[in-house]
């Protein structure tokens, strides 16, 4: 199945993050696959959920409409996407995040097809930096405070690749526990994900270490199809610094420049995150969040969200 519009649509990625347990529906024109729509299936009690796998922050339909006049291509795309939707298995809840900017210019119209089938479409924002530009210009475009934090962190920490995914997972969980937060990240397949990324030069873990070799922060990065993603980060809550993650992100931006990538900060989930990420000088981009759920499941989700606070990355 060769139709992939992003890193997260790649069959090797989907196999790695799910233990080869993902599913997908397809549309063919003759022998040619013109649409594919991957998803992970989970069960919560009596409920069946169709969602994105762990570490997969974007997905949605991958569509090839060929060439033609704009109106004809739009009609083809809507038809293919509706056909994909109609093949989805029964579910209690569906949620995926689409990024129209990684597909052709018609991808924004996918929201029309989903709305037509009774799904809700809302917006998510992210920041993106074109790291094909000169790093000096990127640095100059950052907020003064961000540059100050990076300079101070450079005096305290060295940045190095972390080749042991277990070290990252243990550090992450330990920091969550120290901060008295709830761990919502499933590391069951993380070692395999990291191994597959390394084999394809498609990802790495970076760590900021003090003079004694103790980690202050780590980030997990992945890239493909010309875009790099800031997928996960963790910071030791007892370090008390305000620049280790900023230093790692600056290091990631410089690495993205060498690979000629766009660098996506992968979602803005709060006003605090927006303030932090905007300081790096990227452009704001829009994603689509597509959901649909049975009424009883939506009520249970609302109650749970009210009782348990949402966990987000440590943007400091």
Share above pLDDT 70 across residues of the chain, in percent, rounded to a whole number: 92
d(CA 259, CA 238): 34
Give 270-294 pLDDT, tens digit per residue. Answer: 778 888 888 999 999 999 999 999 8
Q: For residue 274, what pLDDT is reported?
A: 84
- Was domain 128-285 assigned CATH 3.90.330.10? no
d(CA 114, CA 212): 53
Q: Is it the case that residue 164 has pLDDT exceeding 80? A: yes
Over range 205-222, report the average pLDDT. Answer: 97
In 3D space, the residue among 130, 100, 128 whose CA is nearest the CA of residue 288 turns out to be: 100
Which span out of 161-170, 177-186, 304-313 was modeled with the highest average pLDDT? 161-170
163 DSSP assignment: -
Among the residue ranges 71-75, 80-84, 235-239, 309-313, the one predicted with the least confidence is 309-313
Q: Is it the case that residue 305 has pLDDT exceeding 70? A: no
Q: Is it the case that residue 121 has pLDDT exceeding 80? A: yes
Residue 10: φ, ψ to 5°: -65, 130
The residues facing 7 across adjacent strands are none
Q: Where are the domains of the chain?
A: 7-118, 128-285
> How is the chain split among helix, strand and coil, in percent rounded to 5?
40, 30, 35
In 3D space, the residue among 146, 137, 98 whose CA is nearest the CA of residue 120 turns out to be: 98
Helical residues (DSSP H) of the chain, grouped into ranges = 11-18, 70-86, 110-116, 135-140, 144-156, 165-178, 190-199, 244-258, 271-278, 295-307
Q: Is it the case that residue 128 has pLDDT exceeding 80? A: yes
Q: For residue 1, what pLDDT is reported?
A: 43
287 burial level (CB within 10 Å; 0-12, 13-18, 19+): buried
d(CA 179, CA 264): 27
Residue 42: strand, helix, or coil: strand
d(CA 243, CA 257): 21
Say what the pTM is. 0.91
Could you tell me if 99 and 262 are in contact, meaning their C-beta atoms sit under 8 angstroms apart?
A: no
Q: For residue 112, what pLDDT is reported?
A: 94
Tokens in use for 206?
A: 């970076």
Average pLDDT of the chain, as a whole number: 91
Over range 96-112, report the average pLDDT. Answer: 84
Over range 48-55, report the average pLDDT. Answer: 95
8 DSSP assignment: G
d(CA 267, CA 265): 6
Q: Is it the case that residue 312 has pLDDT exceeding 50? A: no
């Amino acid at each position: 199945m060769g139709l992939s519009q992003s890193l997260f649509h790649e069959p090797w990625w989907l196999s790695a993050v799910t233990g080869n347990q993902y599913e997908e529906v397809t549309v063919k024109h003759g022998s040619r696959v013109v649409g594919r729509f991957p998803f992970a299936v989970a069960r919560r009690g009596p409920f069946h959920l169709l969602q994105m796998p762990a570490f997969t922050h974007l997905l949605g339909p991958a569509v090839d409409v060929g060439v033609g006049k704009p109106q004809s291509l739009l009609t083809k795309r809507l038809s293919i996407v509706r056909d994909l939707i109609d093949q989805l298995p029964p579910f209690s809840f569906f949620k995926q995040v689409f990024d129209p900017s990684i597909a052709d210019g018609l991808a924004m119209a996918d929201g029309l097809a989903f709305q037509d089938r009774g799904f809700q479409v809302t917006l998510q924002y992210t920041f993106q930096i074109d790291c094909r530009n000169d790093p000096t210009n990127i640095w100059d475009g950052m907020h003064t405070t961000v540059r100050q934090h990076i300079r101070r962190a450079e005096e305290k920490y060295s940045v190095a690749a972390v080749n042991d995914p277990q070290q990252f997972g243990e550090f992450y969980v330990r920091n969550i526990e120290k901060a008295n937060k709830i761990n919502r990240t499933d590391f069951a397949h993380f070692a395999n994900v990291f191994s597959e990324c390394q084999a394809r030069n498609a990802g790495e873990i970076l760590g900021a270490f003090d003079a004694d070799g103790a980690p202050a922060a780590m980030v997990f990065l992945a890239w493909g199809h010309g875009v790099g993603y800031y997928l996960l980060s963790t910071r030791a809550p007892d370090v008390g610094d305000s620049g280790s993650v900023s230093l790692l992100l600056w290091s990631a931006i410089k690495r993205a420049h060498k690979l000629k990538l766009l660098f996506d900060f992968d979602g803005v989930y709060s006003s605090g995150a927006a303030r932090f990420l905007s300081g790096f000088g990227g452009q704001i981009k829009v994603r689509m969040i597509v959901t649909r759920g049975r009424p009883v499941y939506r009520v249970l989700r609302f109650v749970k969200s009210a009782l348990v606070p949402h966990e987000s990355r440590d943007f400091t």
